[in-house]
Amino acid sequence: MAACSFDMRFTYVLSGWEGIANDSRVFLECVNNPAMGFPKPPEGKYYVMDSGYTNMSGFFNHCIEERGLNNFRGHGR
């Protein structure tokens, strides 16, 4: 697993996961296990993630379905 900044510099790299695991499992282990050393975003900030991951505190899945755009923009009624 790797994370990078907007200027394309690696900020975190995890290699050598033993066994078989999907991306979400590896990500959640990195985020939830302090021993993994994953740098969590500061309070009030977030990381933009690929659409394959679930939104959660500090992490924003940037892929929004078209039918949900009005709600996202605050215009949903």
Residues 45 and 35 in one domain: no
Per-residue pLDDT, 28: 92
Distance (Å, whole) CA 34 – CA 62: 25
Distance (Å, whole) CA 55 – CA 63: 10
Residues 69 and 49 in one domain: yes
Per-residue pLDDT, 76: 46
Distance (Å, whole) CA 58 – CA 61: 10
Q: Where are the beta strands (DSSP E) in 1-77?
A: 2-4, 10-13, 47-49, 59-61
Residues 54 and 68 in one domain: yes
Per-residue pLDDT, 34: 95
Residues 33 and 46 in one domain: no
Range of the domain at 55: 40-77
Domain count across the chain: 2
Q: Which residues of the chain have pLDDT under 70?
A: 63-77
Residues 44 and 32 in one domain: no
Per-residue pLDDT, 64: 57
Per-residue pLDDT, 70: 58
Residues 60 and 76 in one domain: yes
